Structure 1
Amino acid sequence: MVFQLPSVHENATGWGPPATADKTLLPEFLRDLPLQPYTKSERSSRISDWTTASSAHGSEEEAEFQLVDHKAPNRKPLTRFRRQIYNRPRVGPGQSRTGYSGQHNSNLNRNRGNAGNKGMRHVGRRYANDHRRYEPSISINPEWGDPIELFEFVKLQKIPIGNCMFPTNCTTLLDCGQVGYFNTDLLKRVTTKSELALKREYAREMTFLKPTSSDDPNLHKFAEQREGNVFMIDTILSMLMTMHRSLYSWDLIITKKDGQLWLDKSSSRFDSISVNENASDLPDTSELEALNAPAKLSQEAMFVQNNFSQQVLIDQKLHKFQYTSPYSSEANTTHIAPVGYRYLRMPISPELALVVRAEFDAVMPSHSGGLSTLLVRTLNEYDVKITGDWRKKLENQPGCVLATELKNNMFKIQRWIIQTLIAGCERVVLGFISRQKPKDTTNHSILAIETYKPKEIIHQMNMNLDHMWAVLCHILQCIWKHPDGKYLLFKEPSASCVKLYKITASSSADSREAQNASPAPSPSPQA
């Protein structure tokens, strides 16, 4: 077979087949096509162009092309003060370039280091010198020896929940006392534009009782009836469930006798109210007598809460339960602040049953036609630099104010929520109180009054009630294994653990007397 070379038609005047060529040379779909315009970026038209003109045309086009870079050039940061490297003084023996002696330079560097530490904002800053700033709630007697139990918060967080779920259907043993009706008109009437002055006569004219567990005759009555074998009040219960959030020092007296466990607060400092305990900018602790020292803020917070809890009630309107309060009589009932008490039995383990006394401050009509109980508490503003000025934010950003308070007072508010749940209260009433003048701790204004359901706060603070209850059960079971006697559960300032000591009655009394004779330490936060 012989290969035949096809005929080649030359087009001397342009590209493509010549016009005189036979039309059969091209397929039908390519015949009579007009010239398609193209852009300079399409270089397919010069694939087979090897002429000099084409090369010149391409070089000119490449010369006109420029790469545009929108990235900012790297610039060396300029210092505010440039060190002059000329006219430096000569360095003599024992001197540096500053002209001072080495001892002066070491002091200067030490001062600079201290100034830098004051500006730290990380979490560890709070715990750097906490043992220097806060005094313990009690002096540990050397006769007690080493602690017999050590509950580290890190290990407590890893305790499995198991069957220790937070009880929701507790058995109510008794309701007693009397409470006032909450004035719901104040919720709309009090705003930042129409402040309400906080009255001061309630804290001076009335007595606010805070009895401990062993001073409660009703708890002793339930102990005789064998309703339980562990007895405490709600403030102690909430303290144990949220102790991993505490910063200040506190202690509890635990007595085990005749198959019963009694947990008591050791002093009245246990009922103090902390202010901004969990804040990154802690209150001033340089001087115990400073205006914003923790002890002074605690006294101010207690004064404010006592007055506010009575001012929000309707005058001369009380709800009395079937049984009266065990701490009041007909003679002194007018001088004691009205409080409602609820006694409940809560299961802990097959061998332990808890009887707790819970408190609530007011009642209000519910939608179902009955009465709902309320817990009344206050939040204090003592420095607008920390809170951001509530008078400006509460009107437009109430959620931001609440979120800041939940962060700065996490330990205190979590205790309130647990007390609300134990007492069966449907809502907690929060009053936002601010000083009328920054340096006046006696005159305050009510800027806002809000009510919250416990579930709302639990969701915002991400509280795990089941795990908190499991920690409580673990601690009580560990204490229950020890023989009869008196014990001290002690938390050191800023420590991440709680210690259990075996004490004697005489040594505990001596330590308590010595502690009361010493200057008042930073407060143990109350509920």
Structure 2
Amino acid sequence: MASFTLPPIHDNPGGAWGPSTSTLPEQFKFKDIPYAPYSKADKLGRFADWNDSQAGAGVNQTQAGVLGGLQGQSAARGPGGRRTQTQAQAFGSGSASAFAYFHVEDEASFSLVDNYNKPTAPRRGGFARGGGRGGARGGGQYASNARGGPQRGGGRGGFVSGGRGQGQRGGRRGWRDWEKNNRTRESSVVISPSWSMLEEIEFHRLAKLRLEVDEPVDLDSYGRLFAYDKTYDRITTKNEKPLQLVDRIRYNTTTSDDPIIQDLASKNTATVYTTDVILSVLMCAPRSVYPWDIVILREGNSLFLDKRDGGPFDTVTVNENAADPPQDPTPPNPQDKDKPAVPETPSINSATSLSLEATYINQNFGFQSVTEGTAVDLAHPNPFYGPDETDPLASCGYRYRLFDLGITEDEDIKICVRTEVDAFQQGANAKEGQGLVTIRALNEFDPRAQGAGGAPDWRAKLDSQRGAVVATEMKNNSCKLAKWTVQSVLAGAELLKIGYISRATPRDNTRHVILSAASMRPSEFAAQLNVSLNNGWGIVRSITDICMKLPEGKYVLVKDPNKPVVRLYAVPLSTFTADEDDGEMMFGEEALGDATE
């Protein structure tokens, strides 16, 4: 027969609510421990606080930490799947606040490294959990990029940040950053402690300058030009043509060594004297990433902008503006005694190797794509070709042009520029400056190598999707293409020919094939590249004004290797002389000679 026994009742005669402590059974040995309810979703706090005088001491405090240490500011599920704070505070409130989880203490030693806005709501498909795949299959999401603008995640790959990423197609900012080589670059010239820095100009200040310049005045022309071979415009990936090694001589003399410029300077023809190669670097300075330097010589009322022999002006960069540009191997550390001081073997896809390869390709493509049977002599012969020279000259014409940089009619600030053209169109009057052509070449090395910048395979995409190839090159080589366009505009060329040249095999940097050639008008191409000539002339005028206020002497304008800054240094007159830079000049000439052989 079922029975029911009443539990014992422990009465408290004192009148207080609850049983007295003297009548409690022995099993209630934790009677002095404060009660602290917790939830399974609460964050784990500290088990014991030995520095809190109000929390007790000894074993009782440790036991209290075990019971109350899980209390924290939990977040329970609310309507619509969101987590709320109100329920957690009510459930977890108690007397064990000494063991609560405090968010501020855990992150006191951390610093903010990324402050871009995370998406608050998906475009469609309901709520997306951070840490999951977020977004519907058919609807994309917008994620804020580094500049604060929307970035399309799109479709099945449109995942929000915080989970498995944004898929392999779109990717996300900072993806696989640990695999990227964020090595700092070295300066193009060693900054001596004896140099004194006079000016420091940030690129964002240079980008705001504007100056309108009228059409130039042609002073004289020198050299011999060959006609451009139109058969190269009909080359496709189906009938590719091998790139040949053509033995020709072409001069790239600096400003101060040019006898024509020296003669013009003796007549006070202009205030500033330079070449189109040097001037294009200065006009496109805000786009540059790699370091460079310009030697400035102030003599009387004249200013000469020079380059160093074997410096960055003698080679062509590759993927300078890519998000992950090519890198050079790490130089050995002489202070590291554990590792031998053996330099790492440079790869054919390193920055220096690719630069020499691109220089070799540009020279030979320009030599090969002209017809030497049709030649036009300009007003004067080549000023750098001596009577003792026997090697054949390359097709090259020098045009000395005068630009007026004066803002008002009273200002007499002119710049004399030696410009170069590579060929002329058949049937045009090249002597009168008509149908002039400049020839350049883009090169593909290995689409899967580090520093390729996500370029598509040219053999598969160049004929069917040329726009995608051009857009990628405009992104990865923005500075190089801008300089080529500015040089064509300065020379007064009607066409800019760009060849697309790839390696015969990705692992061999000595054999190349011509896949295609494109023609474009420099002014129209400048608009596509968003190149502002007025901004470039504004930069030139500002640097001229700064240097003309300085006393006579030698100065160096240096681009910082890792920051968008240019600095102007005052240097001794003996700097960069032949005796001082003999070893450096020989190294540059030998390296360039080895690449062209």
1:155 counterpart residue number = 205
Q: Is 1:140 aligned to residue 197 of structure 2?
A: no
Distance 1:304 1:518, change over 3 A: closer
Rounded to whole Å, the distance in 1 between the matches of 2:490 and 2:319 is 25
Query: 1:3-22 alignment to 2 at 5 Å?
Result: none
Deviation at 1:514, TM superposition (A): 7.4
Comparing both chains, which one has the higher relative contact order based on Cα–Cα distances under 8 Å and sequence gaps of 6 or more?
A: 1
Question: Partner amino acid for 1:225?
Answer: K
Rounded to whole Å, the distance in 1 between the matches of 2:347 and 2:360 is 18
2:56 counterpart residue number = none
Rounded to whole Å, the distance in 2 between the matches of 1:313 and 1:302 is 18
1:328 counterpart residue number = 385
Q: Is the 8 A contact 2:213 2:405 kept in 1?
A: no
Question: Partner amino acid for 2:516?
Answer: A
Residue number among 395, 417, 425 corresponding to 2:485 in the alignment: 417
Deviation at 1:305, TM superposition (A): 1.0
2:371 counterpart residue number = 314
Identity of aligned residues (%): 32
2:461 counterpart residue number = 393
Query: 1:431-446 alignment to 2 at 5 Å?
Result: 431-446=499-514
Query: 1:76-475 alignment to 2 at 5 Å?
Result: 121=173, 132-145=183-196, 147-159=197-209, 161=210, 164-167=211-214, 169-188=215-234, 190-200=235-245, 202=246, 205-269=247-311, 270-286=313-329, 289-329=346-386, 331-332=388-389, 334-349=391-406, 350-365=411-426, 371-385=434-448, 386-475=454-543
Rounded to whole Å, the distance in 2 between the matches of 1:504 and 1:73 is 68
Q: Is the 8 A contact 2:223 2:378 kept in 1?
A: yes
Deviation string 1:461-517 (CA, Å, 9 cap, x unpaired) is 122221221121111111111011111111121321111111102354487467669
Question: Partner amino acid for 2:301?
Answer: G
Deviation string 1:269-321 (CA, Å, 9 cap, x unpaired) is 22110000001131143457111111100110111111110111113332111
Residue number among 537, 542, 558 corresponding to 1:490 in the alignment: 558
Distance 1:448 1:467, change over 3 A: same
Deviation at 1:206, TM superposition (A): 2.3
Distance 1:399 1:183, change over 3 A: same
Distance 1:333 1:405, change over 3 A: farther
Deviation string 1:315-354 (CA, Å, 9 cap, x unpaired) is 3332111210101145526433221000011111213211
Rounded to whole Å, the distance in 1 between the matches of 2:131 and 2:294 is 58
Rounded to whole Å, the distance in 2 between the matches of 1:185 and 1:245 is 34
Q: Which runs of 5+ in 2 are unaligned?
A: 1-123, 134-170, 330-343, 449-453, 593-597
Deviation at 1:221, TM superposition (A): 1.1
**Structure of greater Rg:** 1
Question: Partner amino acid for 1:346?
Answer: F
Rounded to whole Å, the distance in 1 between the matches of 2:494 and 2:258 is 25
Three-state SS of the structure 2 residue aligned to 1:154 is: helix
Question: Partner amino acid for 1:282?
Answer: P
More helix by share: 1
Deviation string 1:400-427 (CA, Å, 9 cap, x unpaired) is 1111111110101101111101100001
Deviation string 1:172-221 (CA, Å, 9 cap, x unpaired) is 00011001110112212x10111101112x1xx32221100011111111
Aligned residues: 403
Question: Partner amino acid for 1:181?
Answer: A
Deviation at 1:122, TM superposition (A): 5.4
Three-state SS of the structure 2 residue aligned to 1:277 is: coil
Q: Which runs of 5+ in 1 are unaligned?
A: 1-70, 81-118
Deviation at 1:251, TM superposition (A): 0.9
1:18 counterpart residue number = none
Question: Partner amino acid for 1:224?
Answer: S
